[in-house]
Structure 1
Amino acid sequence: MSLSHQLKTIFALLIICMVPVILYNDHYRGTLGLIKNAFPSKPIALADWNGEKFWRLQNPPAAPAPSSTTVSTTSAGAPEALPKGHKILVLSTVGRSGSSFLGELIAQLPDSLYFFEPMMFNSKATPEGVNARVTWDLLKNIFSCRFDHDWLVFARRRSLVRKKEGKPCARSRAEGAGDCLRKLCLNQTNIVVKVIRMRVSWLADLLLESGPELKVVHLVRDPRASFRSSRMFVQTQKDYTELCPRILEDLQMIDTVKRLFPGRVTSVKYEDLCLDPKGVVTDLWGFLSGARKAALPPAWALYLAEHTDGANTRGNAYSTWRDTRKEAEAWRQEIGESLLLAVEEHCGGAIALLGHNKFHSLANARNISFPLRWAKKPLYTLI
């Protein structure tokens, strides 16, 4: 192996497996030390599957929760109040993947405060945009119930903070909204955040510093369905040439993150959720609650009964009311041939990792006897 090839290999390893902390070493110098202390031995192998090469950890040690993550302090060093209960992050690589449905479902838990796409502020209202550093900062603040004034003004205008009972702190004046929301947040049992403007490779820093109560649900959907829907409703997320590599990389990286943080990250495939909503959601509750045989929360059971019945389907493109059994493969009857073939070309690796077939023609896509799935257990790990 040539020296230049060896250098390229080492560089790829650093970028993919040491997470973007390295890119922000000045700001997050301590994080690299945390990772080294938590994972002193990281045997890594280069995997080659279906023409795609990517790094995977082999039998990494379990990550001890750094003691510094369990206590928050003020600038004076005095203990600061921490929010109660569960912290849940729902992460999807792209929009139109069912994340609003899943996020809203989870937020039905009693005493939940739901943050809907908080990174929208950075994407639409700041020159820096969205990157790993600003994402870490914002999510850590939310999970600690600390809210920047500018973000809060934007969030109130866009209704990014929600409760099942209605808009929280809606009657508070602008200058008092921050205190109102902080007090409410600290007294909620669950904090649920749903994002599509984040990468799986950004999770390690967040999980290391957030403590064991933070759990992550990674949601995926067949990219042909997502991009068909994006073409109709979300013009800013229709570029499959840019987004397909991100989807594939996230699918490749999620298993490594799960093995680094056992019991703190799980996956949900939208097609499975549509075809067996009760079964998938029951498994999800077992993961979140830590009790694998726990009964489904009544609020979740009611939500599923109301929102997955075709009789209650609503026409809004962003509605969370749907006939889920039809929703799983409805895109096959709606996608155009040029988009089908283009997404299959650019997202072929992701489609295969999900255990789905390529159709190669519109006739095959329309033919419902041509199965979507080729594998009962895809390489993408669903536990």
Structure 2
Amino acid sequence: MIRGRFTIYLTLLALSVIFMLGFFKQMFVMDVHPYNKDPAPRGKEYSKDGDFDWGTAVKYNPKQKLLLKDTVENILHPIAPEFRIGDALPDTVVRQIHIATSWRSGSTFLGDLLNHNMGTFYSFEPLHFESLSMSTERRLDLMNNIFKCNFHNKEVIGWMKHASKGENNFLFQRNFRSFKICENLLPGKVSCYMDKFQSPICSMSPIRVIKTVRFRVKLAEEFLKNDKDFPHFKMVVLVRDPRGTMHSRSHHSWCSGEECINSTVVCENLEKDAQSAYQLAKKYPGKVYLLRYEDICMNPYEEVKSLFEFLKLPRSKGLDNFIQKHMFGKESKKHPYSTFRKSDNIYMEWRKTVDMGYIEKIQKDCSIPMKTLGYHSFSSPFDRDNFTISVLSKASESIWPKNLS
């Protein structure tokens, strides 16, 4: 039943994207940025008060109208009479997924993996907007409105304005389905940062994923307890061996703040997030999942299978191909932000270069979370250099029993 309804929603989404592509190409080209106060005159698709008129848009795109009419009447209505092209999907079927993690913990790959599933609207690092200076209330408001596809919200508009700057375009480019449509519609990719483009696309997406590295796990309880607005909300807490995390961060000049480079602070936050994950999992059964980066690298197919079963998501035919290409393929790349990796060694790369003194400091600062999360401490350079000794001291089932998810 679930797979059948998802097939319907994915079909609707695909048709809606075709529809939007058609009418956006018919719009009058705006010669100014959407955040300027005086936009150029727009086409007949807009009403007098400036709102976009879906009905009029169809009227001025007759070919799109005929295609949609035929498809809806002959294919969709017999099995889903209550749904219409362009309608927002009901909360009863939408899946909101939050990937909560920290910098350089493998979250870019995990986010891209979930984004690879059809019907996904992916929001990459919305808290990049104001980083650590943003209050908890504003962070929650921003994420709440993104999950609800309220792109006209003040905080979300601020995020879009931030992402529209050239050096920040990567924030929206990760949502590749949406970006491929909008990047060539108007000059300067401006449609990609318009609420009237993003809101409808988001509203028609049955899977909505937000990935953050600036959000403490305990704060997600605001979404977990809100069954009215988010009945299918689930959180994936991604952790990584702090020795590997700190090594990876050391290569980036932007990682200069205490929460990023100070191992004492990093370990305190890791401990808090791990404890919050266990507490929330017990309080909200079936809604929280803790995943180690190393487990994905060592057993990607099995770990992804377990993750998708927890999320109750159908696995697309191309998912295994995505894993093969990004984790085992010949295209593995050296770029620090590339998601192409040689999984059989990348998670242990730090063991080849990190000084034993620094390893011992991290192990001391992180002794509690490392024990909780099943990471093995090395007592000598010999142990560090002996790759037959695993970085893991516990199996994934031991640190996160199935009854927690």
TM-score relative to the length of structure 1: 0.72
1:143 corresponds to: 147
The answer for the alignment partner of 2:359 in structure 1 is: 340
Question: Are the structure 2 counterparts of residues 336 and 328 from structure 1 closer, same or farther at C-alpha, using a change threshold of 3 Å?
Answer: same
Residue number in structure 1 paired with 2:55:
none
Instruction: Write out aligned runs for 1:106-121 (5 A).
Output: 106-121=114-129
Structure-to-structure mapping, 1:279-290, within 5 angstroms:
279-289=302-312
Match of 2:97 among 88, 91, 94: 88
Could you tell me how far apart the structure 1 residues matched to 2:304 and 2:94 are?
20
Partner of 1:45: none
* Structure-1 separation of matches of 2:344 and 2:273: 26
Aligned to 2:67: none
The one of 234, 239, 250 aligned to 1:215? 234
Post-superposition CA distance 1:240-266 (Å, at most 9, x none): 121110101111121110111111111
Within 5 Å, give how 1:61-72 maps onto structure 2.
Answer: none
Give SS of 1:374's match.
coil
> Aligned to 1:325, what secondary structure does the other structure show?
coil
Identical-residue share of aligned pairs (%): 25
**Residue 160 of structure 2: aligned partner:** 152
RMSD of aligned Cα (Å): 2.3
Which of 193, 205, 209 is the matching residue for 2:222? 205
CA distance in 1, matches of 2:338, 2:108: 8
Distance in 2 between residues matched to 1:166 and 1:178, nearest whole Å: 12
Aligned mate of 2:286, from 250, 254, 263: 263
Does residue 1:235 correspond to 2:255, yes or no?
yes
Q: How far 1:325 moved relative to its partner? A: 1.4
CA contact (8 A) 2:106 2:293 kept: yes
Amino acid at match of 1:326: N
Kindly state the Cα deviation for residue 130 of structure 1 after the two structures are TM-superposed.
3.2
Deviation at 1:331, TM superposition (A): 1.7
1:194 matches 2:206: no
Q: Secondary structure at the match of 1:192?
A: strand
Post-superposition offset of 1:123: 1.1
Listed one character per residue, the Cα deviations across residues 278-320 of structure 1 (whole Å, up to 9, x for unaligned) are: 0000111111117xxx6x3223222112101152211111110
Alpha-carbon distance change, 382 to 200 in structure 1, aligned in 2, over 3 angstroms = farther
**CA shift in 2, pair 1:176/1:349, >3 Å:** closer
Assess, with a 3 A threshold, how the Cα gap between structure 1 residues 373 and 282 changes in structure 2: closer, same or farther: same
- CA–CA separation in structure 1 for the residues paired with 2:212 and 2:218: 14
Confirm whether residue 133 of structure 1 aligns to residue 137 of structure 2: yes
Q: Hey, what does 2:13 align to over in structure 1?
A: none
* Structure 1: gaps spanning 5 or more residues: 1-79
Shift in Å, 1:339: 2.2
What residue identity is the alignment partner of 1:184?
Answer: I
- Tell me the residue number matched to 2:267: 244
Structure 2 equivalent of residue 184 of structure 1: 201
Give the total of aligned pairs: 295
Measure how far apart 1:180 and its partner are.
Answer: 0.7
Taking the TM superposition and a 5 Å limit, the aligned residue runs for 1:41-52 are none
Structure 1 residues 166 and 181: alpha-carbon distance in aligned structure 2, compared to 1, 3 A threshold: closer
**AA partner of residue 182 (structure 2):** C
Q: Which amino acid aligns with 1:141?
A: N
| C-alpha contact (below 8 Å) 1:314/1:322 kept by paired residues | yes
Gaps of 5+ in 2: 1-87
Structure 1 residue 231: Cα displacement: 0.7
Mark the CA change 1:189 to 1:358 in structure 2 (over 3 Å): closer, same or farther.
Answer: same
Alignment match, 1:351: 370
Deviation of residue 155 (structure 1)? 2.2
TM-score (norm 2): 0.68
1:319-374 superposed Cα distances (whole Å, 9 cap, x missing partner)? 10001111232221122223212211111111111212211333321122333222
Alignment partner of 2:322 out of 286, 290, 303: 303
Contact between 1:308 and 1:324, CA under 8 Å: does it hold in 2?
Answer: yes
Displacement of 1:163 in angstroms is 2.8
Structure 1 position 166, deviation (Å): 5.9
Higher strand share: 1
